Structure 1
Amino acid sequence: MSTSVPGGNAPPRCCALAARLVLAAAVCPAAFAQAGEDPIVITASRLEERLSQTLGDVSLVERSTIERSGASNVADLLARLPGIEIARNGGPGTSTSVYVRGGETRHTAVYVDGVRVDSQSTGGAPWEQIPLERIERIEVLRGPAAAVYGSDAVGGVVQLFTRRGQGALRTRGGLGWGSRGTRQADAGLSGATGSVDYALSAGWSDSNGFSAREGQNPDADGWRRGSLQARAGWQFAPEHRVEASFLESHLHAQYDGSTTDDDLSHHELRTGALAWRGQWNDDALSSARLSESQGSYETEPSPYRTETRLRDLVLQHEQRVAAGQRLSLTLERREDRLENPATARSARLAGERAQNGVAVGWRGEFGAHSLQAHARHDDDSEFGTKSTGSLAWGWRFASTWRFTASAATSFRAPTLYQRFSQYGNPDLVPETGRNLEFGLRRSAGDDELGLVAWRNKVDELIAFGAAGPCTSTSGCYENVGKASYEGLTLSGRTRVGALALRGSLDFHEPKNELTGTLIARRARRLATLGADTELAGWQLGAEVQAAGQRWDDAANTRRLGGYGLVNLSAERRLGEGLKLQARIDNAGGKDYALARSYAVAGRSASVALRWTL
């Protein structure tokens, strides 16, 4: 496989073309929700606010977009949003990293129905374990939010929501087929009766896959997944509601870990939550959520198993204190547990820890100006206390324009594995970040244009270094790094006649400040461009995804070439509640790499039949 392109640091021709088209088409673009809508989001401040009012850089992806995307996993879908790229060691069932604004995958806090999902082994969400088929809506915040969420939100926050029942009983289903023997089946029902609403869905999918690693064990590495989702709510009083949610996913995937064995990995993910929300009056709103997530990873015939359990209790109260001003108070307790054969100490000491946090937030609207401030203090049973804060300002001018500016601090606590495994260093301290950000957005009807610039500096970056402070002779975790993540994102959407255009262009500079090298597997240029139209009863779409060259290693000696992918989609209604969807990804059959010596799927086609009754 070719992993380089001529021209040094120059982006590939597809990337340059996409850049020019984005600049031309984004004169009057729009948001990621449907054009003209102003939906409610919660990710930026953990409280409800209109998308147009948020002072953060937020994208919203709804179910219709998820279905048309043809993506089989969350990471591939997120890679089509501004400021996000991914790396993967093979197919969809293998280890996957998501980089928001060039940050580490562990620097993004991830929630499913308000349930925190993370790994105390690798650090960061197990992206390959989250079943996209069960997800109804995704909110993405680019930029730090530790003053709201605590540890981990150094580079961003991703919230995923499953379906919530409403209206009369409806049943849904779908069947799909794709390249390499890929098959998928889904079924679900949702609705509401009186004060009770409910939603239940289940699905199964599998694929023959492709050989994950070049020159090593050339058999196809397939995967299969089963998932189940349930959500129910009871409005037991006019302004009070309780809700329970549950998600379970089982993923079995082959991978190339040796030249002779048929290596298998087994993933399990479970999340559950019980929540209450009460509106006391027009000025006061309270909520409480008790949640738990469990994630495990196991391999054979080479034996390895790791399991993470996270428990979280969040109490929130929001109070209007004056006209246009609201104050919020959050109390949170999080308990982490790791079970891993590599932990060197007892499970009671090394496998558990707790964090207690208290956060205060305030937002005020003063005519054309908006102000928002957050402060949080966390007390960790392992490393002590940490305080974070953020301040944001927004100014609306010339009726359709808005300028925003913000500053924030953040931190990420080392995982239990990084501190107490055979490679661990108990003296590790949290990674800390400082972010400065400016944004300019124009919104006029169906058109919107966004420009965001940021600089996020992270100190005490944790990396796997030389042997010394741990029992292993092959290396140990250390606080050795200083990184700066700088960038500029231009995004937009507009409509020209029957043609809807959307696009984004990212200029990134993810750099190791100690060595002056670029951080591995991060591109300095990213671009997307999409167009949708209707023709003879068909909804037709085309998009370009492009990335510049990257380096596969920290020393910047192994180059990964830039690439441009062309994806095509078509959708047609066949009758009441019945539609046909078809898609071709990487239509040009581009040969590229997300990680050196690991293969990608190549050209892929899929077709799906979906119905709602």
Structure 2
Amino acid sequence: MYKYLFFGVFLASLAHPAFAQDEATITVTATGTRIEVVDTGQAVTVIGEDEIGAVQGADLTRILERAPGVAISRNGGTGGFTGVRLRGSEAEQVLTVIDGVRVSDPAAPTGGYDFGNLLALDLDKLEILRGSNSTIWGSDAIGGVIVASTRAQGGVRAMAEYGARDTASGTVSAGLSDADTGFLGLSGTWFSTDGISAADVGTEADGFEQWALNGHARYYFNDRFELFARTRYAEGELDLDGFPAPDFILADTDEVQETRQWTGSAGAVLDTGALFLSAAYSFADTDRDNLDTAGAETFTSQGRSDRIEVRGEWRPIGPFLLHFGAENEWTSYATAFDAGENTRSSGAYAQAGIEYNAISGHIGARVDDHADFGTTVSFGADASYELSPGLRLRASIGEGFKAPSLFQLYSDYGNLALDPEQSTSFDLGLAYGERTLSREPIYGAVTLFQRNTDNQIAFVSCFGETTGICTDRPFGTYDNVTRTRARGIEAELWARAADGVSLAAVYTLTDTEDRDTGLTLARRPRHAATLTGEWQPVQAVTLGADLRVVSDSFDDAANAVRLNGYEVLTLRGRWTVSERVELFGRVENLWDEQYQTAAGYGTAGTGAHIGARLSL
């Protein structure tokens, strides 16, 4: 109880609207279309550069936890495998897009994305869409969509930070921008930490180091037509803990994982006002090597996707519009133990809409053709209605699907009889204002949601079984074994309480159930909240605090291993020395909370960090 009392007293003196977004009008792309937040009935949270900078640090999870519906589990410290769940989904059921490129790894067992490889050092914006949206995005968008955009701005910026556990990071970005010609920009980041022991019982620190380069280019032929190209390369090395003989329990090991990720896209945009067209080619390549003490490879994997797509928006008359698109994707994978396989999928969609005065609505359908599973049809619709100035009623319904990963189909654990996962989600909510305190003194929202998922794929152990699905599968296989349901309530309140004082609370109640067994889904806490506030005692100084509160959950599908709830407090501050220089610092996990988000894996204790930013 003293923890909450401490935080409450601190918040009573907090401030400054650093939660504001820079954009005069917040436009989102996580919906799969260019649309303003107020014109969509879907639940979308946009976190801009100012807020990302105010939170501080490379750890992306501390930023994502400021959005409702988000639950995170991690195998150890920063850089360890990190799964992000939206509204009770599986982590691999969340589609992740970085700078317009889908970055799911076809070589990962479930085909998802490891957020341990994405740091917040040069992110410009995050968009989190919660709810099934395969109508626009196709496969993988069962739980929702997370879109991350890296910095692409003119001028020169630099940041350096140092802190606990010999953690150091740096960022440098530079860009040339001309309204008539285009933009050319490059950014680089570096992060290194001695880390903590990934195994909670371990004594050996497991470090992580990553460097990354991002490039952006645009060339304007005229005010209607442009060409663009983007690329990102990241290379990291992570110390691992494992399950060594003879006990085969999680403990210290000397194994290392090297990860190389290269993504890119190139295309053209035509914007006549009434018609917007974008055509692009993109690719995502992920290579992983696990090495033992002697440097010998113990495991390798390579995942690759190539994609061509066309997206458009046509406004034929007045408030009416039509979104449309088509794409074709080729994916492949190989591991040290599998020769590898590849597949192809294609899809097309159309979504009609009206955006007129107080009402905005969209309805659409999609057809996908998968080389292994045939045709899938998805539907979706959303609506937003302004009941009174600033107060909107929102509703959406959407379908989602996820094709089995190549690993689930063709590896030694594979099952060619798998069916795609299917979902239907809907939500209903009220929202007042916008989550941008630079223009609105208050923002509040309450949303009810539910998602039903069928044919959910899970790993089946074959220990002691040699018949049926376990025939010739001594170590286990994958099967469509589960029907699940997730439902609950999301609530947000962001308020400028007084001059220089801003307070916020984000809460989610998530009730999940395996509809076959009646048990709670693993690693989905029923309650999760983030309380935050900032205080600006003088013009150049800002103090802040963030408290994350998470209830108990279970680590396994059998509900036999409990994960205790936890409360983690971070205090932070920044001093604007001049227009070009800012100093900042924070203390994470102030009361040294001991907790786990994945059974057996440790989490970081108290740590202090300081840094500086330069803008030219």
With the length of structure 2 as denominator, give the TM-score of the two structures: 0.91
Q: Which runs of 5+ in 2 are unaligned?
A: 245-250, 435-439, 463-467
Say which of 358, 377, 390 aligns to 1:368: 358
Aligned to 2:428: 438
Alpha-carbon distance change, 510 to 35 in structure 1, aligned in 2, over 3 angstroms: farther
Aligned to 1:215: 201
1:311 and 2:311 aligned: no
Give the residue type in structure 2 aligned to 1:289: A
Q: Give the alignment of 1:45-64 within 5 angstroms.
A: 46-64=32-50
1:40 and 2:27 aligned: yes
- Please say if residues 550 and 562 of structure 1, whose CA atoms lie closer than 8 Å, have aligned partners that are also in contact: yes
Q: Give the alignment of 1:182-581 within 5 angstroms.
A: 182-193=167-178, 194-216=180-202, 218-257=203-242, 258=244, 259=251, 261-279=253-271, 281-301=272-292, 303-343=298-338, 347=340, 351-443=341-433, 445-467=440-462, 468-469=468-469, 471-497=472-498, 498-536=500-538, 537-581=540-584
**1:260, distance to aligned residue in structure 2 (A):** 6.4
**1:165, distance to aligned residue in structure 2 (A):** 3.4
Q: Distance in 1 between matches of 2:4 and 2:229?
A: 45
- Please say if residues 309 and 325 of structure 2, whose CA atoms lie closer than 8 Å, have aligned partners that are also in contact: yes
**1:14, distance to aligned residue in structure 2 (A):** 6.4
**1:506, distance to aligned residue in structure 2 (A):** 0.7
Q: Distance in 2 between matches of 1:506 and 1:578?
A: 37
Q: Distance in 2 between matches of 1:384 and 1:601?
A: 46
Alpha-carbon distance change, 298 to 76 in structure 1, aligned in 2, over 3 angstroms: farther
Tell me the SS of whatever aligns to 1:66. helix
1:77 and 2:70 aligned: no
**1:366, distance to aligned residue in structure 2 (A):** 4.2
Say which of 596, 599, 608 aligns to 1:596: 599
Deviations 1:312-338 (A, max 9, x none): 111122111221010122011111111
- Please say if residues 40 and 383 of structure 2, whose CA atoms lie closer than 8 Å, have aligned partners that are also in contact: no
- Please say if residues 66 and 506 of structure 2, whose CA atoms lie closer than 8 Å, have aligned partners that are also in contact: no
- Please say if residues 138 and 160 of structure 1, whose CA atoms lie closer than 8 Å, have aligned partners that are also in contact: yes
Q: What do you get for the CA RMSD once the two structures are aligned?
A: 2.4
Percent identity, aligned pairs only? 26
Q: Distance in 2 between matches of 1:18 and 1:42?
A: 36
Alpha-carbon distance change, 466 to 175 in structure 1, aligned in 2, over 3 angstroms: closer
**1:43, distance to aligned residue in structure 2 (A):** 1.4
Tell me the SS of whatever aligns to 1:68. helix
**1:341, distance to aligned residue in structure 2 (A):** 2.7
Give the residue type in structure 2 aligned to 1:146: S
Give the residue type in structure 2 aligned to 1:494: A
- Please say if residues 301 and 336 of structure 2, whose CA atoms lie closer than 8 Å, have aligned partners that are also in contact: yes
**1:474, distance to aligned residue in structure 2 (A):** 1.9
Tell me the SS of whatever aligns to 1:118. coil
Aligned to 1:136: 124
Q: Distance in 2 between matches of 1:177 and 1:493?
A: 31
1:110 and 2:102 aligned: no
**1:423, distance to aligned residue in structure 2 (A):** 0.5
Q: Distance in 1 between matches of 2:119 and 2:142?
A: 24
Tell me the SS of whatever aligns to 2:529. strand
Give the residue type in structure 2 aligned to 1:457: N
**1:37, distance to aligned residue in structure 2 (A):** 4.5
Q: Distance in 1 between matches of 2:268 and 2:149?
A: 17
- Please say if residues 89 and 96 of structure 1, whose CA atoms lie closer than 8 Å, have aligned partners that are also in contact: yes
Give the residue type in structure 2 aligned to 1:336: T
Q: Distance in 1 between matches of 2:550 and 2:76?
A: 18
Give the residue type in structure 2 aligned to 1:452: T
Aligned to 2:75: 89
Q: Distance in 1 between matches of 2:334 and 2:407?
A: 9
**1:490, distance to aligned residue in structure 2 (A):** 0.5
Give the residue type in structure 1 aligned to 2:484: A
**1:32, distance to aligned residue in structure 2 (A):** 6.2
Alpha-carbon distance change, 285 to 260 in structure 1, aligned in 2, over 3 angstroms: closer
Give the residue type in structure 2 aligned to 1:237: N
Alpha-carbon distance change, 14 to 261 in structure 1, aligned in 2, over 3 angstroms: closer
Alpha-carbon distance change, 186 to 36 in structure 1, aligned in 2, over 3 angstroms: closer
Q: Distance in 1 between matches of 2:504 and 2:398?
A: 30
- Please say if residues 254 and 264 of structure 1, whose CA atoms lie closer than 8 Å, have aligned partners that are also in contact: yes
Q: Distance in 2 between matches of 1:434 and 1:600?
A: 35
- Please say if residues 109 and 153 of structure 1, whose CA atoms lie closer than 8 Å, have aligned partners that are also in contact: yes
- Please say if residues 466 and 475 of structure 1, whose CA atoms lie closer than 8 Å, have aligned partners that are also in contact: yes
Give the residue type in structure 2 aligned to 1:376: R
- Please say if residues 131 and 249 of structure 1, whose CA atoms lie closer than 8 Å, have aligned partners that are also in contact: no
Alpha-carbon distance change, 388 to 15 in structure 1, aligned in 2, over 3 angstroms: farther
Aligned to 1:605: 608
**1:394, distance to aligned residue in structure 2 (A):** 1.7
Give the residue type in structure 2 aligned to 1:195: T
Give the residue type in structure 2 aligned to 1:550: S
* Number of corresponding residues: 587
Aligned to 1:173: 158
Aligned to 1:156: 144
Alpha-carbon distance change, 103 to 31 in structure 1, aligned in 2, over 3 angstroms: farther
**1:430, distance to aligned residue in structure 2 (A):** 0.3
**1:469, distance to aligned residue in structure 2 (A):** 3.1
- Please say if residues 21 and 50 of structure 2, whose CA atoms lie closer than 8 Å, have aligned partners that are also in contact: no
Aligned to 1:27: none
Q: Which runs of 5+ in 1 are unaligned?
A: 1-11, 25-29
Tell me the SS of whatever aligns to 1:303. strand
Tell me the SS of whatever aligns to 1:419. helix
**1:240, distance to aligned residue in structure 2 (A):** 0.6
Aligned to 1:8: none
Q: Distance in 2 between matches of 1:185 and 1:134?
A: 10
Of stretches 437-446 and 383-392 in structure 1, the one that deviates more from structure 2 is: 437-446
Q: Distance in 2 between matches of 1:145 and 1:105?
A: 15
